[in-house]
Each structure stands twice: as structure tokens, then as C-alpha cells.
Structure 1
Amino acid sequence: MKKNFLISVIVPIYNVEDYIDETLQSIVNQSIGFTDNIQLILVNDGSPDDSEKICLEYRDNYPDNVVYKKQKNTGVSVARNNGAKLATGQYIHFMDSDDVVSRHFYKRSISFMRHHSNVDFVASKIKYFDGKYTEHYLNSKFKQTRVIDVNKESQQSIFHISSILFARDAAKKHKFDRRLKVAEDAKYVNEVLLNKKKYGVLSNTTLYYRKRSDNSSAISTKMSNRSYFVDTPKLFLDYLIDIWTSGDVVHRYIQHLVMNDIAWKISEENNQSVLTDTEVAAYKQHIYDIASKIDDDILLSNKILNLDQKTFLLRKKYGNKKYEASIRVNDSEYFFNDTELFQYSSTTAESALVLDFIHELGEGRYKLEGYALSASISSRDKRFVQTSRGAFELKLVPRPQRQNIFLGDKFTDNEAFEVTVEVSPVDTIVGLLESFDGTSTKLPIFTKQFTGLGVLNNTYHQKTGTIFRKNKHTIEVYPNTSYNRWVSELRFSLQVMRNIQLRKTIRWMKSTVRNLNSLLKFAPPKKIVWEFTGPAVLLFRSTWTGIVDVAIRQLYFMGLYKSDRPIWLVSDRGTLAGDNGETLFRYIAGKDTTKADVYFVIAKTSPDYQRLQKIGRVVDINSLKYKILFLRASKIISSHADYYVYNAFGYRWTHFNDLYSFDYIFLQHGIIQADLSGWLNRFQKNIKLFVTSTKAEYDSIVSGDYGYDKNVVKLTGLPRHDLLENKPKGVMILAPTWRKNILPEERHGKSGIRAHSDTFKDTEYFKFYNNLMNDARVLGALKAKNMTGQLYLHPAFSRQIDDFSSNSSFTIKAPPYNYKKAFKEGNLLVTDYSSVAFDFAYLRKPIIYTQFDKDTLHENHIAKEGYFSYEDDGLGEVTYDYESAVAEIVRTIESGCALSKKYGKRIDKFFSFKDQNNSKRVYDLLLEL
């Protein structure tokens, strides 16, 4: 092998068989000439996949250039350090094994280094590819090729090692810290930088950073890495502050870098599963201690933190008393000592009051509920809603959903409010801030869906005797006369037709141009075509949509599908029936006393469509008729709470929001056991009748953070339980629920189905259940008892069904599922956290919970831990690993799937009703609404 190469490229290898070839090809194809100038050092860090095979092929093809070293899995830092020992090049590049460099990366980097002896390294800009195609947020420094002196440009942080080419002598003086699992590269880079405090940047070279779509990189998985919390603050942040401190002064460059890191932590870390409560408290205090070393102007100029997060850190740094004493105001502009903090105005979004509800109380009085986008900077400030009848002070009220947190620490006490205002027949409603120095500043008012107003200017809503109309940042009030209604509709219709997405289209086009190289180089053909045609499609669609929506409004006003009776729309999923919606629909169809036109909503392409037509009226969810009926509906009744259920127009809701006049009835499709208040709360769903089945469930919602009282939450039982039958046929049902983190790129449509994931088979979830249904012990027990198994994969994972392996004893069911039949014929249910367990338990059959990921579930799912404890309240045995799950399944099958006395007693105590009158109770409540 040649001894004196120009460049040594060190690539640590671990579990990258899908990416490594592309990485190595980008090195081999360099314009500087691979065989003459580049030494490629591949360090296999005990990779368990076929990465070694690919590495050996490159070594065999380029024996004079490629050095291959295999080591035990000891981490990327050790791999890089070992690779550096073998480096003979004049320059060294540490490259990640899934990234790609542009063709002239080394040629231009070396040319720069030869002409600038005052720097130890040169960096290239970073562009993302694979999971997304955008630029790194710190790329602004690369607009021109130059030398950056961090003594003069302290805000120009640098830390991404794959984008950097080092001079050999500088690189060899330092080693990567093997104790760090995250940020080891940033530590190394800034150790090197300390020597000259200058580095080069190139405007015409690129490091393409793979943003993995499966979130499997070290950075993406850091929240489940204990070392990230325990080691990183001390070994990375504290260390850099220490070595960059002269006397008692921390260099402003390192302050900016550390502040950026803290900002990401503060903004992103709201959950973890690897620390004890004591360790969490210690970690947070450590972060606050580090932040206290940052100069105020650097903290307040940070681009990542929002206003609430900045004031939160200042309060932590100085304490509330000193913080308040340091705040001063000059004509609505707030300062912390002499550093500008924020300026309120009547037009900036961060100053706004956002209204969720406008409740009409009568006689010109209205109760407003909402929140401030930013909490008060000073506790001495007051905020009001002002009308011609006076200024009405906001009353702060608890709303957990508005309390953004950092691992349990709230940034602000509260931002939510209630206020009752008085309004004249002709009036203007505006927000008002009264600063503690007496300065008054008008604040903009924004409106959300349940106000009846939208986000567009000129959107309007009719109240008794008045019309509320949105006018930029205020709400105008007019008498509800035929002339004002006509003028309001005309102005709004013109606004809708002007609501073309021109700015968004231009931004999209600019983004496509900026990322053109990475798109053409890496994106699949469909993605490339869409990036070029998408802006035109968006512009055309938004223009056409405006015209169509105005026409739909006119059809509504002309009386299309108008009825003298109330209209009720009942549904389950958009493409599937068979749940509580269908059960209730059947019950209502059999009642002659219903004084309403009742329709079941489902796609015409659904296999359930024609079957339901034999029961009653059915309307296609994709039809114009459904859209008009939705606008006329007095009740939307569904077992699901997806956005499309209570918003038939999707993102176009703001074109029709003034016409929505329905009560939303949530039948549920199971029994809530976790805390779903973040999803189902009143400010998200505005449910008017919330069906529950057990006293414990009822209590958890009424007393929880959902925002509903006993007038909304009712204990009735699930309608579908009325129709459950119990005729076992020797079947083991395997029905695990879904996981949000497994398919992070969610594509919710009206069916809730997501796209296929190529990485699904690599997940612990897939391996657990695929192995379980093919385990020889389980299959042997089934055969011995003349039983079979059936897998019912959650509908959100329906595209992954082909990934599973069936066998002669275990079949894989395809949706749409007949759960009623499964519950009827099943002898044993194996699930994890799915609420289908309650249906099965209702029939007094045995259940086994397989909770192998219990410790990380709530970190990776939409639900939070709730009132229901599987250990204390569960209706079956709980297992936490594969072997115990297999053993419990085999034991239960061998027992003849007998229900134990322990769980029989729990089941009897759990359910409030077993009289098959659940549908009747729900129906009676509907008549009362």
C-alpha cells in the first residue's frame, strides 16, 4: 500500500449495509483522483449486518487504497481513534458511514487549506437527504468562501465533523471521547478550533447528511440513551466551557455553541424513559447551571428558543425577584437590563391572543376562552379584551395542554384565559396589554375553529342579533341585518377566491431550487417530479378550490338538501363500518320515534356500503351531498375522533366554519385506559356527548385534563357491546395495537391507513409478534388442543401485513376485520395495550397482555399513562418479555383457556352495564341534546 496519501478518510462502520455503498462510492468518485490521493480507512465497529461484506469488496477492488480494520463494538469514538492511528494522509476526514460528499469535496477543500495556513480545518455546507431534502439551519455562514474568526464572529458555531477536512498535525493532537455517545464529534471539532480560533468555509462544496426516514440514527434515538442525559452535560458542555474560559470570562463563541445545544434540549426534551426522578431533577439543574453562565444578550438572541423559554431561563438564572426588578419598558418594548427582550405590537403573531370559543350569553355579553401565544413577560402586566364598552381583564385559568414543559418544568404558569365582555351592536373587539409602567399596547386577536370564525380576513359568523367578522387582527361587530349578511357573504366569498397559496408556492419553488442538487442526486423519481410540478399543482388547486368552495356555499344558501327535520350523520371509519357507529345506526333505524333524517357516512367503495343501504340512508363520504349534509347537520355521531370526522372540508375548514352548527357525539371505539387528554380535550375536539363504559373511565375523564364536565361525559356503555356473542371455536386471537414511532411519517387519510414502511421488519414490534405466531411451543400447544391462531394487525399497519409469516396453524387476517366474529369465536386474546381486550373480557374470556416495551411506550405514543394499571386493574395476566409471554400463552391453552377466578372477579367489578341496553341509553341522551 502507498504510504504517503494526500487524504485519509476514516469511516466507522456499524449497521449500515443499506447506506455504506453509496457513501463509499462518493469517495471513490472524487474529482481529485481516488487511487492516487485517497487512503480509505474502514473501521468495522462490530457491525451485526452485512456491512463487512461490502467493505471487503472495496478492499479487494482497491487493495492499495483501502485499509479494513475490524474491532469489537466499542463505539464510534474508539473506531475513529483507531482509524486515525492508521492515517498517513496530509489531511484527515472523519466521515459518517451513511453520508455522501459532493464530487469536488476534497479537491476544493485541499486547495483552500493550501492557501490558508491560519486555519486547521475547512468546512462545507450541509444538505439533508433521504428523510427530507432541506438545508442545515446553520448554513448561512457558507454564502461565500472565507475564513471565519470566531473572536469576531462568535455566533458562527461549527460542530458537524463529516463536513470538515482537517490538517493532519492538528487532527492527530486530539482524540474522540469514548465516554460520549452523542456530541463526541462537536467536542473534538471545538478542541481543534481552540488553537487558532479560526476556520475556513467553502460555498461550493457539500456534505449530504442522511436524515434517516426510520429515525434510526444515534441523534434520533438519543432520548432513550441514558448516556445522553448523564454524560453529555458534563463531558461536553462543561468541558468546552472550561477549556474556552480565560480568567473568569467564557469565550462568547463557545457561549453561542453551548446556548444552541441547551436550546435544543429545552425545546425538544419533554419525555424520557431512562432516568429516575432524582436523576431527572439533577439533570435539569445541571442544564440550568450551564445556562446561567451564558451572557444575557446571547441567551436572548438565540434563534431556537421562543419568548417563554427565554424568560424561563432568565428566571432560573436570577430568581423571580431579581428577574422582575431587571425588566423595564420603553414604549411597548421590553428590556432585560439593557438587552432588548421583546416588543409587543398589534400585528406580530407572538403578541396575539388566540380565541378558542365565543359563547353567547345574551344581552350583548359574550364569554371568550382562549390563550396568549406568549405568557406575560412580567407578572405585573395585565391583559384585556377591549370593546367600546370598556376593557375587560383576562382571568387566567388552568389548561395543561398550553403548558409547554422541559421534563416536567413548566416554562410559564399559564397562558390560558377566560373573560366575559360586553359588546355594542356596532363595535370592535381587540386585545390590549397594560404594561406595569402604565404603557398600553393593542394586541392582535386570532380565532380558531370553534369560534365560528376562521383564519382568513372577512370570515364571519352570525350570532343572535349580531354578526362577528374577522378583520385582520381584530373582530368587528355589526347588526345581523339582511344587508349586513349579504355584504359579509360577498366580502368573504371574494376573500375565499383570493385565498390562493401564492406565497407558499413561491417558498416551495425557492426551496426546490436551493436543494436542486441533492434532489437530483438522491431523491426517487416521484419525489423529483413532485418537487417540480407540486408548486404549480398547489397554485392551481388553491385557485380552483376557492371557486368550488364559493359555489358550495351558494348551493347551501340556495337550499340544496335542506330538510325540515334535523340531520344526523353517523359513522365509524371513513371506509369501514362495524363499530359503535353502525350498532347505534341499526338501533336508530329500528325506531319510529326518531324525528331526524339519519345517514350513515362511509365511502361508496367500502364493502360495507351496500350492506348498510339495506338498513337505512347511506351517504358517500367523498360526495358533494355529504359536504352539504355536513353543513346542515345538527349532530355528527362517530366512534372515531380523527380530524376528518368533525371537519369534512379538511384544510379548507376556514371557508365553511361559519356554517358549522352541529353537536359532535363521540361514541368511542373502545374503553379509554390511558390519558388521552392531549388528544381528546375540549379545545381539540369540542365533544358535546362523550360516551363512557365504566365508572373508572368516567371518573378519569370528568376529573382529568379533558375539559369536560358531567353534563358532557355520560356513563352508558358501548353500543357494540349489545351485540356481542360468545360461541368459542378454538381460536387464539393475536391483536396488538399500533405504535406512533414505528411509522413516524404518518399519512392519515379518511381510512387512517399509512404508507408501507421498508424498515418495519427491523422493529422490535414486528420481530416480537412474528416470532410469537411462529414459535414452536405456541404452535404445539395450539395443535394439542385442536386450536388455531389468527393475527389481527391494527388497521394503521395494514400495509405491513405481507411482512408477517403465516403457517398452517396461524393465519393473518386482512382488513376490513369482523371483530364481532373474532370476539364471538375466540377462546383466548393476546394483546398489548389495545382496548379490544375490554370487548373480549366483557364475554368473560381470558386475556394475556404482552408488554415488552412498557418502559418506552408513552415516550413513543400519543397516550400518557392514565388511571388504568395493568397490574392492579388488568383483566388478564401481564407479561413483559418474550419468554414469559410464550410460557403464559402455552399455560393458558393447556388449561383449556379457562378464566381464572382472579380475573373473573375483576371483570364483574369493572363493567357498569351488562344489560344490552347501551344503544338505548345513548339514543335517549341524543334526544335530550
Structure 2
Amino acid sequence: MSGKSQTTHGKITDNIFKFTIFIKISCDIYLDNTITSIINQTMDFKNNTQVILLIDTYKTPINIDEYIRRYPENITVIHLKDSANHITNKSELIKGKYVSLINCGDYITSTTLENTYNYLEEYFDEIDLVSIPVYTTDKHVPDNLNYKFSTSNVINLVNKPNNPLTYLKSTFIKKDVLLSVYSENNHEQLPCSTVINQIILKRLKYGVLSTDKYYANTINNPHVENILDYMDNYLIKLLNIVRDNKNSFPYISYLITYELQNIIRIHTLDMLNNKEKKLFWNKLEYLLSFINEQYIINNPNITSENKTFLLYLINKDENTIITTSSNDAVIKIKDYDIDRLSNNKIIIDIAEIKDDVLDIEGCYSSSFNNQRIDVKLIVNTKSDSHEYNPEYITYDSPERSNIQHISITWKYIKNFVFKIPLEKNVNATYTLEIVLKHGGERIVYKPLISFGGSASISMSTPYHVRDDKILSFKDNKLQVEKYSFHKMIKYEAKSLMKILHEKKKGYMHALKLHLLYLILYPYMNNKKIWLFMDRSDSADDNAKYLFEYCNSREDNISKYFVISNECRDYAKLNDKYDNIICFQSLKHELLYLFAEKNISSYVNDFHTNPFYDKNNQLYRGIARPDKIFLQHGVTKDNLSEYTNKYKKNVSLLTTVSTLERDAFLRENYNYDENVVQVLGFPRYDSLTSQPEKIVLFAPTWRNNINSAEKFINSGYYEMIQEVLSSKQLEKLIKENGYRLVFKAHPLLEEYVDLLNIPDYIIVSRNESYQELFRKSSLLITDYSSVFFDFAYLKKPVIYYHPINDYHYRAGYYNYDTMGFGEVCVTENKLISIIEKYLSNDCIMEDEYKSRADTFFKYHDSSNCMRVYKWLLKH
């Protein structure tokens, strides 16, 4: 509720409403959900509720004329002009007895205002505010502090201090009390949590209502962007208010302990300079000095890992010691266990048999220094026993990297790989051990095992058939034995009983599929089946073009293309081919279980796996296809955090360039050399060029954007809007007889209507990329890999990088030295380069043609053939 205000809509009368609801809006895409939930309350809207819409006019106009027309006495619009002054300076605008804030896109249940008003009136002399529980809007997941809403009551924080309240949204406050807090703080802008807790501290009581709910787009604690301000203006400010107040102190101590989790979850302090780091530690030590350990140890609102770290911070001047027994060890500080060897599991990410080799890959994490820890594999046959040492590898993804809290390494990760030849090790058991070296001791512990998402088995389906062998898991051990149909039936029967007994989500569907699998197994087991997919909702990429090529080959392989029957490309393919199947249909599910290869331009399960949202672990043991990743764009950035082996475990990853392949092998993807191949992209065989006078603008996406509000407030939005709104560009395009086509990334399409797009620009929604590449003469992009296709056709490219906001880490590709066109960082430079190309018929310059010739290994039309031959051979 901040900003210098100017009333532009709504007639303010002397009527006193029961409620004033503030809604701060920077985009209106979800406004209807919010305002409708207020208008449609059981408490009559016209007589009881005032809505003040706080509009940021610098971003997007809000179309609220219909609401103003219907409710002129109730709705006031404030245009925020200057965030230096607070809206409560205009207190005469607030006509409600009670005040609340609702975020745009959030909504409340229909009886909220009626129940809240009655409750506040009943306990008017006892409390200043009442709060209702918060849930997510999509899956209705409760906030982790919702336990206090089990019944409607007044919480006395003197008696029950561990009941922190942190949301201003979902809370209804007496107007006079709210204004007095801002007045006491000279109307400065305060964090919402500071405001609400300063009010709570006046009485040390507040009300909770269990009868209603607040639905929020997000309920996670906000990211601490300015950590020093967060500590000063929230935690330290509250602590200083109550430090000498015995009654208030326990509540604030619990609150601060809970909120410290927002600080210690920060991975690194590298964003601070040396002076700021010193300030940070001084402030943190000041806060911790007031925290009694009892507020941490028995606090259910703090995770166990955060508890041990906070205890460590409080006692870090004490000596950390390790005590050991015959098969366990404990890290202690004073009397507190920081970590215990036996508390930590091994996660097996990969467990599979290929080419007579057992591949076991996984990780072990603990607070014991990595130099003290080793992982061993013990292989036992009937006649012998062998101990194997692993290769230790590194991943860049957070889940498989050392865990740091505020630049302190707290958990060490050991990523290991065992590759065991099976000629002599069939009918053997495989046991993983953790060995801790401490002083002269060697403590050996057999940890419990769990399975990651790329393992070929799971706890629910703990066996997998591959070639002539069965890999299984029992009694915390892996086992390999020779295949027989009788053995397979026994394992499958046990899986069925396990699924039936556990009754996990989706188990009935899984039982049906497992039974059908058993019935069909004798008929389907020896069939060669290949499934092809691009995205589940489109077909215009490498898999489609490879499918069309492979479909014309006579090779006794059954080939199917998978796509949702709700998208426009389904009908086109279904009219042309007989072997098109619907994504997530029963036929797709059964074929997936028996398929030899699942061939896709995408690698995410939600595009390729029919069981991705059906509790996939219930099917993992019986699903057999190798994942073939054709890519949907040339990889130029370091994507090792996302497409590495432990997450995706693909059997083939196609590339177009030796430079691209070398990057996959050099960076921490950890794929074997035979997996990453330079074969070319199948869709390049069908790339053609018949240029028209079209300039194509095709920016990529930003992964940090997950809402319309974030989009509107991003530099990404400003970059796109700047290009679309450029009068200089419009003049250039029109004077030279060209057309400007805007092609939004698939994830941007949802937000296109939030952009102000001049009439002369053509927004491409239905044309394929192949068609746009064929017709366009010049490409303007930011970081999208579509520029590789364009350069392959020897057409000019311009990179527009006014801000460095791309979400992926830089890889081997350098835009200045390897790019296929100029890099522009200002609008004037961009316009100048566009003008240059339009004046010479959009001919690619020789320097960039030479770079294209050097980058792409193949310039023929044999990419499909090369990929097909590799798939046949492997």
C-alpha cells in the first residue's frame, strides 16, 4: 500500500464501510478472480465494502470501467506515482472500519467478510486483527503455518508464543490501529511482516478464523533480495522494540527463529562486498545473541537441517567433535548431534544394464567432510567376493552439489559411478557401503538406499528386465541374475502385491496396466517398437521429420508418432499416417512399456512420458525404452544443471557441431562419449529458403517468469515492448516495403495479450517455425537458438542484448566471436543494423557465412539418414 496518490475514479462519500480492501495491481490478467471474490461475498458488497485499486500506470492500463460503472460508490482507483510517500498519508480515502490487502490474482471464500466482521465485532476490545488460513490457488496446498487455524480462537501469545504470523494478506486489521503504526513510523514503507507484527505486539493477541480461506498464487516466503534491509527493517526492528519486554520477547524470539530460515537458506554471500559481509555477520550475531536454544530445538516450524545449522551458528566457537562406534559416527557440538552417519541414505540415480555392463550411479550426502568418506561396492557371488572403488564425478545442479548456507558448506555430496562387467558377475548381489576414515579408525556402514527418477527400478517396481538379465532390489541390495519368463512372472507378481498393499496415488490404474503388461508380454516382448514425439502439443521439430523418414524404411520396426489429439497438428498427421497415437491414451501407455526407443526433440517427462503425472514410480520397473534426445535447438549455453545424466539418462544426444559435442563432454553432464554424437538435426533436411520481404522478431523465454505480474515488471517485457513499439523500426519496415512478424516463444504466448502491439506487426500464432524460416529474410532475436536454423540457411541474424538477463549459464558459444551477425546493446544500434540489411536485400555478410560453414559439421540433406543408421546399430 505505497505510493503518492491521485484519485481518478470512484466517488468518495462520507459513508463508513465495514471493510476497505486494497488490491495492488501491476497487470490485470487475474483481476477478475480477485475482485469477483470480493463482490460476491455473502455480505452485501454495495453497502459494506470499499475496494481501492492501486494501479501502476507505468506498466499496463487496467480496464476496470465496467466495475466503476456498476459500483461507483465502492471502487476507488489510485494511480501510484511516487513510491516515496505512503498511501496512508491519504487516510481520508480509507472509508472502512477494517482494512485488508489482497494480492491481484488471489481470492477469498464467499463468507470471509461476513465471518471476519462478526468475529472482530465480538472480540473488538480484545484483539486488533484476525487472520484466515492461506492455500495455493492451484492445488490448494496449505501454508506451513496453517496449524494454528484448527479452530477459530484468540491466540494469547504470552501463553502460546510459538504462533508466528507473517502475512499482511489474509489478515483484517482495525483501520485506526493500522494507521497508527504507519504514523509511529513516520509513514515510511515497511515490510508487510513488520507492520503486522508491530500491531500484534500492542496486545500480544490476535484472532484466527478456521471457517474461511485465502487462496494465493504463491505462499512461499519471499526471496530475501536485500538481505541487510530484511534484517534491519524487519527482524532487528522488531527485536529492538521488545528486547526489554519479558512478555513480548518469547514471541519475537520464535518469530525471528522461524524467519532466520529465509536468511540461512541463501547459498552464498557473494552478492555482498567485504564491508557488507562484515555488516551481515554483525547483524546475524546480534540476532542470534537473543535466541535461546530452546526456541530452536523443540520448534516444529523449523526443518531439522535448519535446526542443526542454527545451533551450529550459536555455538560455532565451541569445538566440533566426532564420536564413533563400530558401525556409526556422530558429529557433535556441545550436546547436540549435528549429523550421524546412519541418518543419511544413498540415492541411486542410475541402475541399469547395458551391453553386459551394470551401471550404478548415485550420491551420498552428509556433514562429514568428503575427504573422510568413501563409497564401496561389494559384489558377492556363490564362490567369491570383490570390493570395487568408484569413479567420483561432479554435477553442477544444486541437488548433487555441496550444500551451502550463507557461504558455509553444510552438507558434502559424493557423486559416484560404478561400471561392473557382468561376464563373471551374473547371479551376484551388490551391496553399497559407506566408509568413514577418522583418525586411525575405519568405520563401515551399510546405508539405506532410495532411487532417483532415472533409475530403471523403484521401490514400487523393484525389478527390471534387460536383454537376458533381470536386475532387482531386495533387502537393501541389488541383484543380477539370468532372465527366465518364470522368474519375471514371480517378480511381477510381487510388484502387483506391493502396489496393492501400499495403495499409493494412482495405484488402481497402475494395477490395470501391470495386468495388461503381463497378458501382452508373450506377444509384445520381442517386437521392435519406436515411439516418436516433439512436444506433446505440437509436431514441427526433429522427431517429426525423423519419423517421416523412418516411416518410409522397411525394417520390421513398428513406428508411431505420439501427440495430443487436442492440438492442431494431430489432425494433419492423422490424415496422412495410420500410426499416429494420442498422448497419454491407453495405447500410448502400453506401447511405452514395450517400446525399445522413445525418440523425442524434448527430454522433459511431461512431454515424453505418459506416466509423468500418474505416479511414475509405479511403472518404472516395467517401462523399458531408451531415451533418444534429438534436441529442439542447438545447445550453446551450459545446461548441465538440467540435462545431465542423473536427471535424464539419455542413450543418444544428437548435436550439429563438434564444438557443441565437445562442450557436452567437457562440462559436467557426465554422459559417456558414445552417447553424444554429431549427426545433425533431422529437421535441417527439410529447411528451404524462399525469402519474402519479412523481418522476423523471435525472442526466447526467461525461466524466472512464472506469472503475468512478473512478466510485466521484467526487463524482458521492456525489451520486447521496446522493439514492438519502436517508431524508427516501423518507419524502416514500411519505407522498405517489408513486413514485421512477431513469433512468441511457446511459453510467451500466454502473455502476448499483455503487450501493446501496433497494427502493422503480424503476430504469428499458427505458422510453423520451418515456414517462418523459409519466408523470412532477416531474423532479430535475443538468445533464442532459432538463429542456428536461420544461419544454416545463410540468412542474416541480429542479436539484441540490451540487458544481460538470460537465465542459462554461458557455455562455449561466444556471440561476438562466433555469432552469425552483429550484437546490438542499444536501440539505435539495432535500428542502424536493420537499416543496413534492408538496404542490401538482406544478404548475409561473408564473415558470418564463413562462421556458419565452420560451425556446422554437415551441410547436406542426410541428417535423418545418419540418425536412423545410428539407431539401427544401437
Provide the rounded CA distance (Å) in 1 between the counterparts of 2:176 and 2:834.
60
Provide the rounded CA distance (Å) in 2 between the counterparts of 1:648 and 1:297.
49
- 2:455 is the counterpart of 1:451: yes
Q: Which of the numbers 121, 125, 137 marks the counterpart of 2:128?
A: 121
- Checking the alignment, whether the CA contact within 8 Å between 1:671 and 1:838 is kept in structure 2 is yes
Name the CA shift for 1:327/1:873 in 2 (closer, same or farther; >3 Å): farther
Amino acid at match of 1:184: P
**CA deviation string 1:534-585 (max 9, x = no partner):** xxxxxxx642x1343023312432213843xx44444434454443334444
Q: Which of the numbers 516, 539, 548 marks the counterpart of 1:552?
A: 516
What SS does structure 2 have at the residue aligned with 1:707? coil
Provide the rounded CA distance (Å) in 1 between the counterparts of 2:192 and 2:701.
36
Provide the rounded CA distance (Å) in 2 between the counterparts of 1:383 and 1:303.
34
- 2:466 is the counterpart of 1:484: no
What SS does structure 2 have at the residue aligned with 1:137? coil
What SS does structure 1 have at the residue aligned with 2:794? coil
Name the CA shift for 1:42/1:451 in 2 (closer, same or farther; >3 Å): closer
100-109 vs 243-252, which moves further: 243-252
1:330 deviates by 12
Q: Which residue does the alignment assign to 1:838?
A: 788
1:333 deviates by 8.1
Q: Which residue does the alignment assign to 1:696?
A: 659
Amino acid at match of 1:707: N
- 2:246 is the counterpart of 1:240: no
Counterpart mapping for 1:717-796 below 5 A: 717-743=680-706, 769=720, 772=723, 777-796=728-747
Q: Which residue does the alignment assign to 2:116?
A: 105
1:720 deviates by 2.8
Provide the rounded CA distance (Å) in 2 between the counterparts of 1:384 and 1:151.
54
Provide the rounded CA distance (Å) in 2 between the counterparts of 1:877 and 1:698.
25
What SS does structure 2 have at the residue aligned with 1:657? coil
Provide the rounded CA distance (Å) in 1 between the counterparts of 2:822 and 2:488.
62
149-158 vs 772-781, which moves further: 772-781
- Checking the alignment, whether the CA contact within 8 Å between 1:772 and 1:886 is kept in structure 2 is no
Amino acid at match of 1:452: S
What SS does structure 2 have at the residue aligned with 1:602? strand
Name the CA shift for 1:205/1:177 in 2 (closer, same or farther; >3 Å): farther
Amino acid at match of 2:233: L
Name the CA shift for 1:199/1:900 in 2 (closer, same or farther; >3 Å): same
Q: Which residue does the alignment assign to 2:262?
A: 264
- 2:349 is the counterpart of 1:338: no
Counterpart mapping for 1:428-467 below 5 A: 429=431, 443-456=447-460, 459-462=462-465, 467=470
Q: Which of the numbers 67, 81, 99 marks the counterpart of 1:73?
A: 81
Q: Which residue does the alignment assign to 2:6?
A: none
Provide the rounded CA distance (Å) in 2 between the counterparts of 1:174 and 1:578.
57
Q: Which of the numbers 200, 203, 214 marks the counterpart of 2:206?
A: 200
Q: Which residue does the alignment assign to 1:514?
A: none
Q: Which residue does the alignment assign to 2:73?
A: 61
Provide the rounded CA distance (Å) in 2 between the counterparts of 1:806 and 1:75.
29
Provide the rounded CA distance (Å) in 2 between the counterparts of 1:582 and 1:471.
41
Name the CA shift for 1:161/1:795 in 2 (closer, same or farther; >3 Å): closer
- Checking the alignment, whether the CA contact within 8 Å between 1:636 and 1:663 is kept in structure 2 is yes
1:490 deviates by 1.9
Q: Which residue does the alignment assign to 2:843?
A: 898
What SS does structure 1 have at the residue aligned with 2:524? coil
Amino acid at match of 1:257: L
Counterpart mapping for 1:374-393 below 5 A: 376=368
Provide the rounded CA distance (Å) in 2 between the counterparts of 1:361 and 1:16.
53
- Checking the alignment, whether the CA contact within 8 Å between 1:328 and 1:337 is kept in structure 2 is no
1:613 deviates by 8.9
Provide the rounded CA distance (Å) in 1 between the counterparts of 2:17 and 2:551.
82
Counterpart mapping for 1:778-857 below 5 A: 778-797=729-748, 810-815=761-766, 817-852=767-802, 854-857=803-806
1:671 deviates by 0.8
Provide the rounded CA distance (Å) in 1 between the counterparts of 2:264 and 2:433.
29
Structure 2 gap ranges (5+):
1-11
- Checking the alignment, whether the CA contact within 8 Å between 1:30 and 1:104 is kept in structure 2 is no
Length-normalised TM-score, structure 2: 0.78
Amino acid at match of 2:230: T
Counterpart mapping for 1:524-673 below 5 A: 542-543=507-508, 545-560=509-524, 562-563=526-527, 566-574=528-536, 576-585=538-547, 587-588=549-550, 597=557, 599-603=559-563, 618-622=579-583, 626-643=588-605, 647-650=609-612, 651=614, 653-673=616-636
Name the CA shift for 1:758/1:485 in 2 (closer, same or farther; >3 Å): same
Amino acid at match of 2:791: A
1:680 deviates by 1.0
Provide the rounded CA distance (Å) in 2 between the counterparts of 1:590 and 1:266.
58
Amino acid at match of 1:232: Y
What SS does structure 2 have at the residue aligned with 1:669? coil
Length-normalised TM-score, structure 1: 0.74
Q: Which of the numbers 211, 219, 223 marks the counterpart of 2:216?
A: 211
Name the CA shift for 1:888/1:658 in 2 (closer, same or farther; >3 Å): same
What SS does structure 1 have at the residue aligned with 2:133? strand
Provide the rounded CA distance (Å) in 2 between the counterparts of 1:299 and 1:280.
27
Provide the rounded CA distance (Å) in 2 between the counterparts of 1:492 and 1:178.
67
Q: Which residue does the alignment assign to 1:322?
A: 319
1:470 deviates by 4.0
Amino acid at match of 2:517: R
Provide the rounded CA distance (Å) in 1 between the counterparts of 2:494 and 2:712.
54
- Checking the alignment, whether the CA contact within 8 Å between 2:589 and 2:611 is kept in structure 1 is yes
What SS does structure 1 have at the residue aligned with 2:319? helix
- Checking the alignment, whether the CA contact within 8 Å between 2:26 and 2:709 is kept in structure 1 is no
Amino acid at match of 2:771: K
- Checking the alignment, whether the CA contact within 8 Å between 2:312 and 2:333 is kept in structure 1 is no
- Checking the alignment, whether the CA contact within 8 Å between 1:497 and 1:546 is kept in structure 2 is no
Q: Which of the numbers 307, 328, 345 marks the counterpart of 1:352?
A: 345
Provide the rounded CA distance (Å) in 2 between the counterparts of 1:332 and 1:276.
36
What SS does structure 2 have at the residue aligned with 1:413? strand
Q: Which residue does the alignment assign to 1:706?
A: 669
Provide the rounded CA distance (Å) in 2 between the counterparts of 1:804 and 1:10.
28
Q: Which residue does the alignment assign to 2:496?
A: 493
Amino acid at match of 2:777: N
1:870 deviates by 3.0
Structure 1 gap ranges (5+):
505-540, 745-756
What SS does structure 2 have at the residue aligned with 1:453? coil
Identity %: 19
1:337 deviates by 2.7
Name the CA shift for 1:676/1:821 in 2 (closer, same or farther; >3 Å): same
1:311 deviates by 4.6
- 2:644 is the counterpart of 1:681: yes
- Checking the alignment, whether the CA contact within 8 Å between 1:11 and 1:42 is kept in structure 2 is yes
621-630 vs 706-715, which moves further: 621-630
Provide the rounded CA distance (Å) in 1 between the counterparts of 2:13 and 2:709.
41
- Checking the alignment, whether the CA contact within 8 Å between 1:13 and 1:45 is kept in structure 2 is yes
CA RMSD in angstroms, aligned pairs only: 5.2
Q: Which residue does the alignment assign to 1:512?
A: none
Provide the rounded CA distance (Å) in 2 between the counterparts of 1:805 and 1:834.
22
- Checking the alignment, whether the CA contact within 8 Å between 1:328 and 1:334 is kept in structure 2 is no
- Checking the alignment, whether the CA contact within 8 Å between 1:717 and 1:918 is kept in structure 2 is yes
Provide the rounded CA distance (Å) in 1 between the counterparts of 2:172 and 2:465.
61
What SS does structure 2 have at the residue aligned with 1:80? helix
What SS does structure 2 have at the residue aligned with 1:400? coil
